[in-house]
Structure 1
Amino acid sequence: MKKILSTLAVAAVFGASAASAATFTVTRQDQLFGGNLLRNVEINYNGTNKAVSAGMFHLKSDDMGDFVAFCVDLAQTLGKPSQVVEKAVLFSDTVRTNVDKLFSSVIGTSTMASVINDGVLAAGFQLALWEIIYDSEGGFDLNNGTFKRGNTSNVQAWNQAQAYLNGLGDKTGLQDITYLFSEANQDLVTGTPVDNNEPAPVPVPASGLLILAGLGGLAALRRRKAV
């Protein structure tokens, strides 16, 4: 199990539902970060500084086609390729709700690639995600806590991340969020706009009334014929 995730009370082992999910392969696009959709930053996690690339991955798989995603796991690196499984419950309810708020407030009903379209925005979104996951109690101050900025490089990216966190609000449910779990490599998260144009199902009472009306009409026709 991933040590860094288990310390955050994250379910990083397969439960009964995950055990039945199919494993599939995720590979990198030729331009992993879509050209320049990243910034090199120094983070501080649990008192240790580390230089990392923060940005949006461009990936592909037979199951999901071409897609973009972000890292949710500081313990490991992205594989070449990665074996992943979709995992609905990768984090606590609090973390998943705040991730939902981030996707809904920043991405809204658009596609991720259309909104996160430069390096500062991509790095800012990634840093905000890490803050939500690794400082899950809230507050979300990138200058303090378990996860924070390690130095003053790429101030724009850190400021963008803080702006995203400050604007979380309470809006949720605008993106279908998918978590991809890997035993050997980084865990990932991606999102797609919720389709609100699907026809609403007919309410059961209304459909029942229609059936009754139809049966009543047939009965009336039979009575007429009988006369």
Structure 2
Amino acid sequence: MNFKAAFSALAILLAGTSMALSAPIALTKTNPNSVFDGGGRKSLRIINNGDPMVNQRVTAGGFRLNTGAADIIAWCVDIAHNLSLKGLYQVTSTPFTNTFTFSETQKTNIKSLFETTYSSLDLNNNNQSAGFQLALWELIYEKSGNFDVKNGNFKSTTNTDARNFANTFLGNLGGAVTQSYNIDYYESLGYGRNNSKYSQNLVSVTPVPLPAAGLLLGCGLAGFYLAQRRKKV
């Protein structure tokens, strides 16, 4: 196999992976008895004076789910709907068509929140996990641009510890990246009669391999190419 053929094979493999990722999937709980599966979560009251209008008590924390191929921790980015795993989901890089479209600023802020905080987050700590969920909602629903989960048109009025963690995480935005992540948005495709009901839209991440791994791959391919050239000389 020559160098060009090797890259062609790699391209075919990546294309097949991309197709698999874009296929609708059924998300399930890793523990049938609890969507949090023993992880951190807290009961909080959230208020949103925008669209959607919300003033209710919710349980905030990371969801332990399975995609059919891997276990993931997913986070709610949709306070307009309840979580229901009856229907299928679509992995998308352009959220969302069934609620409202995220701006580039929102997507950048969400990525920054993960890359400056997530690697050191104790996901089994109730206040940290709830605080991270609050911080995500703040980035999506606060319209003033001043991120503070204790004030504004989106806010939480209970649990001081979780709110303090959320504001600490939000204060890291734009700071040093501690871990790079690939972002996966999960869009509900609907369920019930004519798929007219929707589950919560979600977000999850996977760590980006360290640059050294890519460098080793590049060196290996370069070595393969040079070896093939020597054979032809």
Q: Does 1:40 align with 2:78?
A: no
Identity %: 34
CA distance in 2, matches of 1:210, 1:73: 52
Partner of 2:111: 100
Maintained 8 Å contact 1:27/1:60: yes
- Contact 1:101 1:171 (8 Å CA) reproduced: no
Number of the residue aligned with 1:139: 146
User: Does 2:65 correspond to 1:54?
Assistant: no
8 Å CA contact retained: 1:180, 1:188: yes
Q: TM-score, normalised by structure 2?
A: 0.71
Aligned match of 1:188 in 194, 198, 202?
202
Q: CA 1:21–1:52 in 2, change beyond 3 Å: closer, same or farther?
A: same
Query: Partner amino acid for 1:57?
Result: F
CA deviation vs aligned residue, 1:97-121 (integer Å, no higher than 9, x gap): 111111011123x7x7xx3221111
Structure 1 segments of 4+ aligned residues over 3 angstroms from their partners:
170-173
Shift in Å at residue 62 of structure 1? 1.0
Distance 1:88-1:36 versus aligned 2 partners, 3 A rule: closer
Q: Which runs of 5+ in 2 are unaligned?
A: 1-17, 96-101, 190-197
Q: What CA distance in whole angstroms lies between the structure 1 residues aligned with 2:226 and 2:54? A: 66
Secondary structure in structure 2 of the residue aligned to 1:25: coil
Is there any run of 5+ residues in structure 1 with no aligned partner, and where?
Answer: 1-16, 219-227
Which protein has the bigger helix share? 2
1:25 corresponds to which residue?
26
Q: Partner letter of residue 56 of structure 1?
A: G
Maintained 8 Å contact 2:26/2:85:
no
The letter of the residue matching 1:134 is Y
Is 1:70–1:126's contact at 8 Å kept on the other side of the alignment?
A: yes
Find 2:124's aligned residue among 117, 120, 123: 117
Q: Deviations over 1:22-56 (max 9, x none)?
A: 11100123231122511000011116421111111
Output the CA distance in 2 between the equivalents of 1:36 and 1:86. 24
Q: Residue 159 of structure 2 corresponds to which residue in structure 1?
A: 154
* 8 Å Cα contact 1:95/1:136 also seen in 2: no
TM-score (ref. length: structure 1): 0.73
Structure 2 match to 1:12: none
Q: CA contact under 8 A between 1:27 and 1:82: conserved in structure 2?
A: no
Find the structure with the greater CA-based Rg: 1
Task: Tell me how far 1:167 sits from its aligned partner.
Answer: 1.7
CA distance in 1, matches of 2:151, 2:140: 14
Cα root mean square deviation, aligned = 2.9
> Contact conserved, 2:28 with 2:66, CA < 8 A, in 1?
yes
The verdict on how the C-alpha distance between 1:210 and 1:191 changes in structure 2, with shifts beyond 3 A counting, is same
Greater Cα offset, 157-166 or 172-181 = 172-181
Name the residue aligned to 1:72: 77
SS in 2 for 1:162: helix
Counterpart secondary structure, 1:86: strand
Instruction: Output the CA distance in 1 between the equivalents of 2:188 and 2:143.
Output: 21
